[in-house]
Amino acid sequence: MIRVATYNILHASLKGLDAIASVLAGIDADLIGLQEVDQGVERSGGAWQAAELADRLGFHHTFAAACPWESGLYGVAVLSRFPILGRETTALPSRAILPLGDGAEPRILVEAEIELPAGLVDGATALTFAVTHLGLDPTERRLQADAIASRLHRRPRTLLCGDFNEGRTEPAYAKLSASLTDCVADAGGGLVRSYPSHRPTIGIDHVLRSGDLPPASRAWAVPTEASDHLPVVVDLG
């Protein structure tokens, strides 16, 4: 079994990095995709958030910057129980023009190659764990989904997770789920609501898998107000 989580942490601005670390420790996932992560940004006390969270969990990590922010960088991250063999970052179509504001941010896809322990996934020594955070504009999201789908097309042993900023009835999600399987649907639990954290009404945080990975047996959102999103967690296998 592989446990995977996706979590928009809102740069730990609500209750601090300790609260985020506590949530992640409780989830006990093998692979974690994070969105809205600061590195060296003044508003977050200059913390290298991905590195600090990985250190507390005893995990490997990689941070990918979507854009500069104040004195530092802002982007997405991968935390992994298993070694990270390499990573690639792809800039996605964006309407953002610096200085940033009103949700108009550059968006990226980060793909981390994860080394797998022998026997964890039949015949596999590695998988691709991809993390993204799609835009707020529907047209922009569709273009971003097209770029991601092209990038991951027929890629073996691939997981894609992130804050898509839209649910399962909308076009960007439909584009991505045409070639990848929704792990929540695998688990048969219906909609997993992840936003807003204090009273979740919509499911906009997703984990998708390629067909050669085992289906999810369980999917859930973790109740916590450490961020404005809930973490979404799936067990594969």
By the 8 A CB rule, do 71 and 42 touch?
yes
Nearest-angstrom CA–CA distance, 222 and 120: 25
The DSSP bridge pattern shows strands 158-163 and 126-133 to be parallel
| 2-236 carries CATH number 2.170.120.12 | no
Q: How far is CA 145 from the centre of its chain?
A: 14
Q: How far is CA 171 from CA 11, 16, 203, 209, in A?
A: 28, 34, 15, 18
pLDDT in tens, 147-191: 999 999 989 999 999 999 999 999 999 999 999 999 999 998 789
State pTM to two decimals.
Answer: 0.96
Handedness of CA 93, 99, 105, 106 (dihedral sign): positive
pLDDT in tens, 216-234: 999 999 999 999 999 999 9
pLDDT in tens, 29-44: 999 999 999 999 999 9
